[in-house]
Structure 1
Amino acid sequence: MNNASMPRPRNFMDTHLLHILRTLLTEQSVSRAAVRLGLSQPALSNALRKLRDISGDPILVRSKNGMVPTERGLELLAHANDALAAIDRITSPPQIFDPGTTRRVFHLGAPDYLDAMFLPNIAAILRHEAPCSRFIIHTIHAEHDYTSALENGTLDVVIGNWLQPPPQMHLSRLFDDEVVCMVGSQNPIAHRPLTLQQYLQLPHLAPYPYVSERQSFIDGCLAARGLQRNIQMTIPYFGQVAGMLLRTDLIFTTGRQFARHYARYLPITLLPSPFEFPPMRFYLLWHRRSHGSPEAAWLRQCINRVAAMLQASQADARQGTEPSGTCIARPHAPSK
């Protein structure tokens, strides 16, 4: 076999050699490159020999006006510039995130249970503090593989309530919501105390995604005590709940935050639950791939601010000091 046709062994190229290569090709002189790099001329000559051995090309050749780069040398200069720029990006600290100028697309997964209050307040903050960004909300349900979406970056964060949150994710606790019952004010049960036996026998409305393959928070808590409610109708979206209750004798079990929003504007009555459900606990989930991202961290901070604000509103409502009207987030001033 001809030695010229044999593949050359891959030699080690470090950052120091890349700097020397770029300087030699830029200065087109060993002596000038040595002065610029603060090295001796023999050291630069040795480095040039090593670079010639690695590349299999003279890189610089003599001409009547001095040394000039070969065609391969000019190609190597472009590669060296690209490589050193990439190394600078890798080794430099991340740029300070400015929400006021970012064009980042934020992806949030959440059940539409949160559409009434929580998500609009997050949207208000993003529109005020990050007006150039885009905000995309993805509805999650029992069949949605949100863990894979967080792992591959399709989603930045997920909000939800689980009896047992996924253990492999980063999580923070957002808020607790008291479980109550919703009925249309025309429903006879709206005007009398509700017993546990009546509650279990009444016709229940339930969201479809949470009864298809696995139990919802409500049904899981009941099942743990050997109880089962009478689900007579299922719907795919929480936004359909109020309309269904106003035209039927159905009862809906949910969090106070959701129920209170509709009771403000519609003839909806809230009833204490005769079963002692634990609070519906909502969590914010994210994957370790985005844990250190300044943009994703800022989004999580916005979500936590809304959670704290709505929790304070819940406390005011329990104390009878809640202001009238819809609760709107007060966005902070944009970061400078």
Structure 2
Amino acid sequence: MQGLNHTSVSEFILVGFSAFPHLQLMLFLLFLLMYLFTLLGNLLIMATVWSERSLHMPMYLFLCALSITEILYTVAIIPRMLADLLSTQRSIAFLACASQMFFSFSFGFTHSFLLTVMGYDRYVAICHPLRYNVLMSLRGCTCRVGCSWAGGLVMGMVVTSAIFHLAFCGHKEIHHFFCHVPPLLKLACGDDVLVVAKGVGLVCITALLGCFLLILLSYAFIVAAILKIPSAEGRNKAFSTCASHLTVVVVHYGFASVIYLKPKGPQSPEGDTLMGITYTVLTPFLSPIIFSLRNKELKVAMKKTCFTKLFPQNC
């Protein structure tokens, strides 16, 4: 990156939760438990889908890919945050900061693209059930997952390159618990900072809003198709296949809007840090809970998998 040659800053200081010194141990324990649960929940989903042949279908292939992105997204942010909660040395090297931003944005946007693909999968399943096997073939599903990952990596590269091509003029303190765009922009100097800030904001909001609108369009067709089903039992069964995905979409975009669509105006760095928890810690924590509780097939398969592992002699 050219920006590496023009900066006088070789490292940054992640201020994180230092404004709450008396809460750091409690926050460490809370975030550690949530992080471990996130990892175990997603690994359990992946193991269940892998071991249960009845779940070898596109919807659960996408769910496995989603679990992988959530694991990688949290790995990019949370271990560093946990270490800083127990340390007085919160410095992070310039390249390490750029890498963290790249991976967090890449996996975050891959998550959004996969949710969009899952919405299309539910649209095809309900609105075109007779063509489902053709439209959602293994090759097609693999291609969609690959495109989601490629799109996420491109977004991560675009955002990270734009931010780290800026010059940083000696200020080191990032008022956040990871290398996020807004606090880093406050440390940059030069005539192009405002242009980069608006450009990055436009790219991120356009990508997220585009995914959200495509999901809304899918569900508009889904709702119209469900309302045409004559029996209440049929309507409930059709809607139940979408419930977990729809709930995760609401949580994902609800918390994302807190980060990207918050009103302009004076806001404390501590407030921004606390809001960041909703998207980086809480959303990945809730996602496996929602999918395991709201998806009946997955819930039954997970119970069967756990029972088989714990009591193999009874199987």
Give the structure-2-normalised TM-score: 0.26
Larger CA Rg, structure 1 vs 2: 1
Higher relative contact order (Cα pairs below 8 Å, separated by 6+ residues): 2
